[in-house]
Amino acid sequence: MIYDFVIIGAGVVGCMIARELSMYRAKICLLEKGNDVASGSSKANSGIVHAGYDAKPGTLKAKLNVLGCALMEKTVQELDVPYKKCGSIVAAFDQEGTDSIRKLYQRGLENGVSELFLLNREETMRLEPNIHPGVQGALYAKGAGIVCPYQLTIAAAENAVSNGAELRLNFEVEKIEKTEDLYLIKSAKDTVKARCVINAAGVFADKVAAMADDNSFTIIPRRGEYIILDKTEGKTVNTVIFQPPSEKGKGILVSPTADGNLLLGPTASVIEDKEDTSTTASGLDEVIKGAMAAVPNIRLNKTITSFSGIRATPDTGDFIIRESEKNPRFFHAAGIESPGLTAAPAIALYVIEMIKSKGILLEENPNSVRIRQGIPRIAELPLEEQNRWIQKNKAYGKIICRCESVTEGEIIDSIRRPAGATTVDGVKRRVRAGMGRCQGGFCMPKVLEILARELQCSPYEICKNEKGSYILKEGEIEHD
Amino acid sequence: MIKTDIVVIGGGPAGLAAALSAYEKGVKNILLIERDKELGGILNQCIHDGFGLQLFKTRLTGPEYAGIFIDRIKKTNIDIRLNTMVTKVSDDLTVTAVNEDIGAYQIQAKAVILAMGCRERPRGAINIPGTRPAGIYTAGTVQRWVNIEGKLPGKNIVILGSGDIGLIMARRMTLEGATVKGVYELLPYSSGLTRNIVQCLNDYNIPLKLSHTVTKIFGRKRIEAVEVCRVDQSLKPIPESREIVECDTLILSVGLIPENDILSGTNISMNKVTGGPFIDNRFMTEVPGIFSCGNCLHVHDLVDYVTDESERAGENAAEYVLYGQKEKESSGIPVLCGDNVRYTVPSHLSKDGKGALTLMFRVTKPMKDCTITVASDGILLLSLKRSRCTPGESVRITLPEDRVKTVLEKKTPITVSVTE
């Protein structure tokens, strides 16, 4: 089998590209080294749809951010993903901050951001009653929003697979060989052949490029630590609250999430290990201090968990979306740090145009669909509708996760869907079982059982997330 | 919509006792809703003994204790709905429930008894830095695996927190052949019962490290080790005391939280200290007709007390259904926390309350040779001596009926204090 396109990396960028390519008659293979899609940066980031005033005018980042923000509403409708156009503010607490937001305002206008306003103190307080009263003003971007980053990735993957793309998990690319017109992409055990390659390998995109003798860029992993609070706290703020940016990044934000929690973070620290997603006492402290500086009455005792994510910062200062200079038909979609999530739908279209511009023929596939129906959230439906689902399938009447009111039917769906869950965290990211305040204490043994039953394996084979992260380590207890 | 007199939410020890006592008081239309496939609640996985010492003067296991009440309830006409989850309770006494066979449905009651129990505080709530591997579980989850499902989650165990379930699981895991490296407790005292420290740790030479906590987690796939530190008086880790302890499982026993999520749509106000609703001496919340008892009211250390309390909640709910509410005043006479008292249950008195008043409370710190006093408007209503009080063991005292009358007549707040 020779694939027309092999995409390396099933994060949000790889999955959105796979989805757009799946609208054409082409053989597509999406390779992922993890055992689920969205298992790197795409599962652990701020989930913000940025308006586009941050990036330097003229960069690819600026262009694709503004475009991506505009495309997001349509994308989430098509893919049935949690999203809220809640707006964002950059709050200024001193003269320096006030100067900074004025500059951002100008930059936003230059980048073509619409619905951008400078608010005075009163207007800011009215919009965000819980903000620190020392606030002096804010830059308000009405078009900004929040989206669930892993749901977006999962939905895009599912849509692509439904349209015929192939997803190969646990495929860690180790070597790329070139023949005259093909690329041979090899893992330790397997080889796939491709006419075109798209490198969307996130923090490892430089490593993948180097396998094809392309050393034109380096990805620097930067870790961001976050704290997430209970859904009871989601209404502490109305918009995404940023503080004026520094050279380290956009600073600590306080934001509702698309699912209704409250998110604080991130820090930004350059790290050595590209997969070191541990949190640190000092990092979490920094998150708390930074968040409290903007919103002093955050109820930290409602914390449900903390986590960290890695951002793929390129040494070039801009997104790297181009054909490899050394390799024809080998395209990079690399260095996609913030606002990469926002830009993802635009990056996918940009990549399609780039492919076409190289004379590669893409013929639309009339059988492909752009619509993906999400898994029903039974608990959020009116009683009569709940009952319609339960009549169709009893399992929708059995609540497994009490914190998030997730039924067995939804969990089974999350496993049986295309690009479905195979792990406890995979179920959690698809239907939120275990995502609530008890963090799976109650439902995890049940989810484990359902996974083992659906996947026809032993519960001892079920992992939390990556390969080897077994939930149960020892065997059955033998009683005399 | 189904109509009934009383809906009891939860079929654990609290719900069983409340339903039975309401039934015995003469209310015949009672519906008991349980989310699990059998009655008994968390007692079903508590196969150790020590239950029933107060109430039955004998040592029972959890299932034996629950069995007594399950047998009794099966002899009544109480309508038991298993595998059914309540998703919502409303101020107008409607209860929304869902199960596989009926689907989602509503019940209109004349009184609702909340008996949902509690849940465990997870790792995230205490924000331990480090990686997020598999192998970190709450004590109750491990207890379920070991005692109900017969699965051993790991063999090299560190336990954080010395709550009762943590202590019990230290012994349980040891008996199953696992090595328990130690129980680490942040506070300078254990929050568990003394008898559990003796029988579950000391008898098995498991070290209890007070004023210690886990400060970091290592391991990417499965937990491989934890970093533990001694803490100073302000509970801050002392970096020089850092020590790495290898393990494949970290069991958390860091607190229980009353489970009251389904009340979010009601006007019931919650006590931030207990996590349960404010109630009066009839166990009625601030919404007329909604009663609360057991661990969703406040976390108990002995099930015997849960039973006793829930029986009284059931009786009061029955009276409410049979005779209505006489007194319309909502807030009543406050019961205040004096020196060294963290909380009291009930938090206020209603004129409708009858008889002697049982007050439950917890102290803020361990104390020896102390005096418990109950006073109102400068009058000492009760004074008791105790050789010791600890935050891990709740205190129950009874204010005689004539004293309660005095308070109800005077309408002045009463204050509970403990002094050394």
pLDDT band at A151 (very low <50, low <70, confident <90, very high): very high
pLDDT of residue A217: 98
Contact (CB, 8 A) for B170 and B159: yes
The answer on pLDDT for A439 being more than 80 is yes
Minimal Cα–Cα distance from B212 to chain A, Å?
Answer: 16
**The token pair that represents A306 in the structure block:** 């903390």
* Residue B176 near chain A (CB below 8 Å): yes
Tell me how far apart the alpha carbons of residues A227 and B88 are, in angstroms, rounded to a whole number.
29
> In which residue are the tokens 């990549």 written?
A351
Contact criterion met (CB < 8 Å) for B122 and A441: yes
pLDDT of residue B324: 85
The answer on pLDDT for A83 being more than 80 is yes
Where in the sequence of chain B do the CATH 3.50.50.60 domains occur? 1-119+257-325, 122-254
pLDDT of residue A110: 97
Which of A167-171, A364-368, B193-197 is predicted with the least confidence, judged by mean pLDDT? B193-197
Residues of B in contact with A284 (CB under 8 A): 127, 129
pLDDT of residue B392: 83
Mean pLDDT of B184-196: 91
As a whole number of Å, the end-to-end CA separation of chain A is: 55
- Is the Cα dihedral B293, B294, B295, B298 positive or negative? positive
- Catalytic residue at A479? no
Tell me how far apart the alpha carbons of residues A81 and A145 are, in angstroms, rounded to a whole number.
13
Sequence-ordered alpha helix ranges (H) in A191-273: 205-211
Query: A240-271 pLDDT, tens per residue?
Result: 999 998 766 678 999 999 999 999 999 999 99
Query: B237-286 pLDDT, tens per residue?
Result: 999 999 999 999 999 999 999 999 999 999 999 999 999 999 999 999 99
The answer on pLDDT for A479 being more than 70 is no
Mean pLDDT of A121-147: 97
The answer on pLDDT for B178 being more than 70 is yes
Query: B110-134 pLDDT, tens per residue?
Result: 999 999 999 998 877 678 999 999 9
ipTM of the complex: 0.93
**In chain B, how many H helices and how many E strands?**
8, 29
Contact criterion met (CB < 8 Å) for A402 and B35: yes
Minimal Cα–Cα distance from B167 to chain A, Å?
Answer: 18
Residues of B in contact with A283 (CB under 8 A): 129
* Residue A278 near chain B (CB below 8 Å): yes
Nearest chain A residue to B178 by CA distance is: A474
Tell which B residues from 127 to 146 touch A, by Cβ distance under 8 Å: 127, 129-135, 137-138, 140-141, 144-146
Tell me how far apart the alpha carbons of residues A111 and A113 are, in angstroms, rounded to a whole number.
6
More confident residue, A343 or B192: A343
* Residue B215 near chain A (CB below 8 Å): yes
- Peptide bond just before A266 cis, omega within 30 deg: yes
Question: Residue A416: helix, strand or coil by DSSP?
Answer: helix
Residues of chain B with pLDDT > 90, as a percent, come to: 87
pLDDT of residue B124: 72
Element (DSSP H or E) covering residue A397? none
The answer on pLDDT for B57 being more than 60 is yes
Element (DSSP H or E) covering residue A133? none
What does the buried/exposed string (b/e) look like for A220-252 if buried means 16 or more CB atoms within 10 Å of the residue's CB? bbbbbbbbbbbbebbebbebbbbbbeeeebbbb
* Residue B161 near chain A (CB below 8 Å): no
Nearest to B154 among A301, A398, A473 (CB): A473
Separation in Å, CA A381 to CA A336, A373, B417: 37, 15, 49
Domain B1-119+257-325 in CATH 3.40.710.10:
no
pLDDT of residue B374: 96
Mean pLDDT of A120-149: 97
Minimal Cα–Cα distance from A401 to chain B, Å?
Answer: 11
- DSSP 8-state code for residue A328: T
Residues of A in contact with B215 (CB under 8 A): 281
pLDDT of residue A438: 87
The residues, any chain, with a CB within 8 Å of residue B66's CB and separated by 6 or more, are: B12, B13, B16, B39, B40, B41, B43, B44
* Residue A466 near chain B (CB below 8 Å): yes
Residues of A in contact with B178 (CB under 8 A): 474
- Closest listed residue to residue A437, CA positions, set A146, A232, A225: A232
pLDDT of residue A17: 98
Separation in Å, CA B400 to CA A391, B332, B363: 56, 19, 22
As a three-state string, the secondary structure of B276-287 is CECCCCCCECCC
B232 CB-contact burial (10 Å; exposed 0-12 / middle 13-18 / buried 19+): exposed
The answer on pLDDT for A332 being more than 60 is yes
Where in the sequence of chain B do the CATH 2.60.40 domains occur? 331-420
pLDDT band at A345 (very low <50, low <70, confident <90, very high): very high
Question: Residue A443: helix, strand or coil by DSSP?
Answer: coil
pLDDT of residue B393: 86
Nearest to B221 among A437, A440, A466 (CB): A466
Element (DSSP H or E) covering residue A377? none
Nearest to A442 among B119, B131, B215 (CB): B119
The answer on pLDDT for A119 being more than 90 is yes
pLDDT of residue B325: 75
What percentage of chain B's residues is helix, strand, coil (to nearest 5)? 25, 35, 40
**Mutation choice for B interface testing from A227, A439, A448 by most B CBs within 10 A:** A439
| CATH code linked to domain B122-254 | 3.50.50.60
pLDDT band at B14 (very low <50, low <70, confident <90, very high): very high
Mean pLDDT of B29-50: 96
Quick one: CATH architecture of B331-420? Sandwich (2.60)
Mean pLDDT of A333-357: 97
User: For the residues of A30-85, what is the DSSP string, one character each?
Assistant: EE-SSSSSS-SGGGSS--EE--S-SSPTTSHHHHHHHHHHHHHHHHHHHHT--EE-
Query: B321-379 pLDDT, tens per residue?
Result: 999 876 665 558 999 999 999 999 999 998 777 789 999 999 999 999 999 999 998 89
pLDDT of residue B407: 87
Nearest to B221 among A227, A281, A468 (CB): A468
Which of A213-227, A389-403, B388-402 is predicted with the least confidence, judged by mean pLDDT? B388-402
Q: Where are the beta strands (DSSP E) in B162-224?
A: 179-185, 208-210, 212-218
Separation in Å, CA A132 to CA A87, A122, A236, A306: 18, 12, 12, 23
Contact (CB, 8 A) for A452 and A417: no
More confident residue, A127 or B392: A127
The residues, any chain, with a CB within 8 Å of residue A296's CB and separated by 6 or more, are: A130, A132
pLDDT band at B73 (very low <50, low <70, confident <90, very high): very high
Minimal Cα–Cα distance from B152 to chain A, Å?
Answer: 5
Supply the mean pLDDT for chain A: 96
Nearest chain A residue to B140 by CA distance is: A441
**Mutation choice for B interface testing from A39, A402, A443 by most B CBs within 10 A:** A402
pLDDT of residue A249: 66
Supply the mean pLDDT for chain B: 94
Tell me how far apart the alpha carbons of residues A99 and A244 are, in angstroms, rounded to a whole number.
9
Query: A4-60 pLDDT, tens per residue?
Result: 999 999 999 999 999 999 999 999 999 999 999 999 999 999 999 999 999 999 999
Domains delineated in chain A:
84-143+220-310 (3.30.9.10), 378-461 (1.10.10.1100)
**Mutation choice for A interface testing from B47, B173, B220 by most A CBs within 10 A:** B220
Q: Ramachandran region of residue B324, left (φ > 0), alpha (ψ -120 to 50) or beta?
A: left
Instruction: Determine the residue type at B420.
Output: E
User: For the residues of B351-373, what is the DSSP string, one character each?
Assistant: TT--S-EEEEEEESS-EEEEEEE
pLDDT of residue B410: 85
